[in-house]
């Protein structure tokens, strides 16, 4: 990483992103030259692991339609063959989790469906230490409208759900010139596709270049960054944003880093033609230890202030996170990606010291979740889809505790989303100048009863409000389940769920849950 632009993530570190994965990574892993071995279920440090599994879920619900007027009890069966691939060595590194879900309703076969879940992040190194390709891809269920029926379980059918697939590919070339100047040339391409067809389809493409000080020990550094990005919504319009920014970096010691930025930015998001303005800003990064990080960023951009505040701290048994940001969102599913901190995030951060490599750490996190009987691919749909460039302000707080037998995670978040492109005629939850506020809170606890069994409890509350029209929906959910290990590769769980929806799409639901997971 060049000293002159520390805000860029290290391109050689695989990003752990729950919402995007790479199809290119799938091909890379398929061609990987290491010997694939079955996963014995306990060692994430092995360089290459393939772990297939099959999960059967039974849900007995008293309200399969999730309505107040047409309640119908039903038994929903899910059969989910899954594949986990983890690579921590060689020219392709990353992880892949894929699941094919077959749904069968005992009383309403018209709702039977095939769903997919995908989560992965892969990096390929094509030229030693110089040419890389990062890729992300994802497949998940998401809400179409912010004010449609909210569901506690992606297996329960509503007209407000759709399958969304995302793909992102980022090739880049980096190196050192004259022993002191770092360069990075890169391109990026991402696409989001919604099965609904009418909303949630977008494409992003562009390129960037960076020059800057290469010495990481220098107290004073410089950088120059140029970028060109195009965003195209299928039901909206295409927009372009260009920028050229210079930066000065001052690092008095190894803990504190100060950055000043300034340049020009041009965009047609708020007009028919490109309009150029001066952009400037500053950032402060403080990292007194591997356990504590503080980041403050503030930039004046075409839409006003863009800022990020982030504080992370972890102790031997706790993780603390506080965040506040105001940024542009320019893909169709961005409003669905501001989710609460999850058990994956909690364990992933806590394992940072033991597993500094992000790929190995992600693999070990998946093993820990498996031991707790938790499926990282099961994500309840949140947020909503958009069809225009938007502005989002997000406040978040999370604290987690990891003990010898007990894990506790408390998360809360508030987001305000509004349309930034006044010329778009697309119809979505932000049409007509609407501003959508979402508040979510979650408390989850897991206690290991014995070496083979544990008890999990999750309480959540999600509220969505149109600040202009007053439209609102709210979903409260409580879930408890008991998990036990029947064999070396077999887990079984029993549970119950209570859901209460309030507002424009009200309903109540009771459900009994049973799950059998077999690692093949």
Q: What is the tens place of the pLDDT at every residue in 281-305?
A: 999 999 999 889 999 999 999 999 9
Please tell me the least confidently modeled range out of 123-127, 207-211, 247-251: 123-127
Both tokens of 200, joined, read: 């949630």
Q: How many CB atoms lie within 10 A of CB 509?
A: 22
The full set of domain ranges for the chain reads 23-519
Sign of torsion over alpha carbons 76, 77, 81, 85 = positive
Task: Give percent of the chain with pLDDT exceeding 70.
Answer: 82
Residue 333 is predicted with a pLDDT of: 65
Least confident of 227-241, 266-280, 353-367: 353-367
Residues 32-45: what's their mean pLDDT? Answer: 41
> Could you read off the pLDDT of 6-24 as tens digits, one per residue?
333 333 333 333 333 332 2
Of 475, 365, 317, the C-alpha closest to 44 is 365
SS3 431: helix
Confidence at residue 222, expressed as pLDDT on a 0 to 100 scale: 94
Backbone angles phi, psi at 349, to 5 degrees: -65, -40
| β 472-487/202-213 pair status | unpaired
146: pLDDT strictly greater than 70: yes
Is residue 283 a contact partner of residue 294, using CB atoms and an 8 Å limit? no
Structure confidence at residue 168 (pLDDT): 95
Mean pLDDT of the chain: 83
User: 23-519 has which CATH code?
Assistant: 2.40.170
Looking at the predicted structure, is the pLDDT value of residue 205 above 70? Answer: yes
**Token match 């860029």: residue?**
8
Question: What single-letter DSSP state applies at residue 35?
Answer: P
Q: How far apart are CA 427 and CA 168, in angstroms?
A: 25
Distances 377 to 84, 460, 496 between C-alpha atoms, Å = 11, 18, 20
384 vs 43, which has greater pLDDT? 384
CA angle 415, 9, 194 (to 5 degrees): 50
Residue 21, pLDDT score: 31
- The whole-number average pLDDT for the span 455-483 is 91
Are 121 and 78 spatial neighbours (Cβ–Cβ below 8 Å)? Answer: no
More confident residue, 200 or 359: 200
The pLDDT > 90 percentage for the chain reads: 49
What is residue 145's predicted lDDT score, i.e. its pLDDT? 86
Q: Is the pLDDT of residue 391 over 60?
A: yes
3-state class of 271 per DSSP?
coil
- Does residue 426 have a pLDDT over 60? yes
The pLDDT, as a whole number, for residue 79 is: 95
Taking residues 252-257, what's their average pLDDT? 89
- Tell me the mean pLDDT in the region 455-473: 89
> CA–CA separation, 350 vs 412, rounded Å?
19
Structure tokens, 255: 């803990």
List Cβ neighbours of 99 (8 Å cut-off, separation of 6 or more). 55, 80, 81, 82, 83, 116, 117, 118, 377
E strand or H helix at 363 = helix 358-371
Residue for token pair 């996190």: 365
- pLDDT-derived band at 169, boundaries 50, 70, 90: very high
């Amino acid at each position: 990483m060049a000293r002159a632009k520390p805000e860029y993530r290290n391109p050689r570190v695989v990003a752990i992103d729950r919402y995007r994965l790479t199809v290119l990574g799938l091909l890379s892993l398929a061609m990987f030259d290491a010997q694939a071995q079955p996963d014995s279920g306990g060692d994430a440090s092995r360089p290459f692991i393939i772990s297939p599994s099959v999960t059967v879920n039974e849900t007995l619900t008293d309200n399969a339609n999730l309505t107040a007027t047409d309640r119908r009890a039903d038994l929903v069966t899910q059969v989910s063959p899954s594949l986990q691939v983890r690579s921590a060595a060689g020219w392709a590194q990353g992880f892949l989790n894929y699941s094919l879900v077959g749904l069968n309703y005992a009383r309403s076969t018209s709702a039977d469906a095939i769903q997919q879940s995908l989560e992965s992040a892969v990096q390929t190194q094509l030229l030693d230490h110089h040419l890389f390709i990062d890729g992300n891809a994802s497949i998940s269920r998401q809400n179409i409208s912010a004010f449609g029926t909210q569901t506690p379980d992606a297996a329960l059918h509503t007209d407000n759900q759709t399958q969304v697939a995302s793909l992102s590919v980022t090739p880049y070339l980096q190196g050192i010139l004259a022993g002191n100047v770092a360069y990075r040339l890169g391109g990026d391409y991402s696409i989001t596709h919604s099965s609904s067809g009418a909303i949630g389809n977008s494409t992003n493409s562009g390129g960037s270049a960076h020059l800057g000080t290469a010495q990481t020990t220098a107290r004073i550094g410089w950088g120059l960054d140029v970028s060109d990005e195009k965003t195209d919504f299928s039901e909206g319009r295409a927009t372009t944003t260009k920028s050229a920014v210079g930066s000065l970096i001052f690092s008095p010691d190894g803990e504190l880093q100060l950055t000043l930025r300034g340049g020009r930015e041009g965009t047609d998001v708020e007009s028919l033609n490109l309009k150029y303005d001066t952009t400037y800003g500053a950032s402060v990064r403080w990292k007194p230890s591997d356990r504590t990080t503080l980041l403050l960023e503030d930039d004046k951009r075409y839409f006003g202030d863009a800022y990020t505040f982030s504080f992370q701290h972890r102790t031997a048994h706790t993780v603390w996170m506080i965040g506040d940001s105001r940024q542009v969102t320019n893909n169709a599913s961005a409003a669905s990606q501001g989710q609460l901190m999850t058990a994956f995030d909690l364990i992933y951060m806590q394992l940072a010291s033991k597993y500094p490599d992000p790929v190995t750490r992600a693999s070990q996190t998946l093993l820990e979740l498996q031991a707790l009987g938790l499926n990282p691919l099961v994500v309840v749909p949140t947020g909503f889809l958009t069809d225009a460039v938007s502005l989002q302000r997000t406040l978040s707080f999370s604290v987690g505790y990891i003990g010898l037998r007990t894990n506790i995670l408390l998360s809360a978040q508030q987001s305000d989303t509004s349309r930034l492109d006044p010329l778009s005629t697309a119809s979505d939850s932000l049409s007509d100048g609407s501003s959508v506020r979402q508040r979510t809170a979650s408390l989850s606890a897991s206690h290991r009863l014995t070496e083979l069994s544990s008890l999990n409890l999750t309480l959540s509350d999600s509220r969505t409000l149109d600040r202009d029209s007053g439209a609102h929906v709210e979903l409260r959910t409580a879930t408890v389940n008991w998990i036990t290990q029947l064999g070396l590769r077999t887990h079984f769980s029993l549970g119950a769920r209570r859901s209460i929806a309030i507002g424009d799409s009200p309903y109540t639901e009771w459900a009994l849950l049973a799950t059998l997971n077999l690692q093949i």
